[in-house]
Amino acid sequence: MTTEQVTLQACPPGLFLFNGYLGFKTEYPATVGKDNGNGEVTWTVSCWPEAYVVESGEFFWGGAKTHADRATLLVSPVNMCSINPTPATGAECAGWRTMESAPIDGERLNLCWQADGGLPAHVELGKWSASQGGWCNTYGKPFGPGDPDFWQRLPTPPNDVPATPTPEQRTGQEGDAEEVSDDAQWTVARASAAWRACAGSQEDADTAAARIIEQYGDRRAAAAIAARKGREE
């Protein structure tokens, strides 16, 4: 962590130790003030090192009275490359935290169980339940046996995720299907709206299907309506 002692003047920029205190030497020379005798101080850049006490932020003197004496103080440079902090676990690196720090206010969380007894590690959505006195799924059913080992907050949804459309948005205010992209999740809504539009009409199945395709551009909805009218005919 530290190397052999050198003078403050020869110490490279960075952290150093002096009598148990941690200091920091900058790459710049110290600015020295000189009293002109008329109450004014002239500040000049010196050749002496600039250093500070890390804990207090004060200018480092180390008991010296002059800049020249301070520059000759023996300090121990700290080699940052040799510092090896305790490595984080794989779970901590991935953003997981141990359960001691988990919130117990009912917030929904990702909960992780480590592999145990032949069972693989797995993740479930859950929360703390005060009424159950333990960790439960989002429906309030306790997990068990065994509490989760890690927790993680749910990610924030991206800003461009569209809101879930309401039934009125799906079918339109007048009961007609709105024009939306041809996506499978709209098939039922479109088919229902289209059926209401042609229900009770005298169209045959093929005519109704052709009209729905032209109006809504959805062949699946048209097929559903055609089949329904065909059964009734």
Q: Where are the domains of the chain?
A: 6-81, 90-153, 167-232
Q: What does the pLDDT read at residue 13?
A: 92
Residues of the chain with pLDDT under 50: 172-186
Sorted by sequence, the CB contacts under 8 Å of residue 110 that are 6+ apart come out as 123, 124, 125, 151, 152, 153, 154
pLDDT of residue 121: 83
pLDDT, residue 100, reads: 87
What dihedral angle (degrees, nearest 10) is formed by the CA atoms of 94, 97, 103, 106? 50
Provide the angle, in degrees to the nearest 10, between the axes of the packed helices 187-198 and 219-232.
50
Residues 148 and 59: their CA atoms lie apart, in Å, by 50
Helix (H, G, I), strand (E, B) or coil at 228: helix
pLDDT at residue 65 in the model: 92
Tell me what pLDDT residue 223 has: 62
User: What single-letter amino acid sits at 182?
Assistant: D
pLDDT by residue (tens digit) across 39-52? 788 888 899 999 99
Among 5, 2, 7, smallest CA distance to 70 is for 7
**Per-residue tokens: 87:** 């490595």
- Residue 169 contacts residue 180 (beta carbons within 8 Å): no
Give the predicted TM-score (pTM) of the model.
0.36
pLDDT in tens, 95-107: 788 888 889 888 9
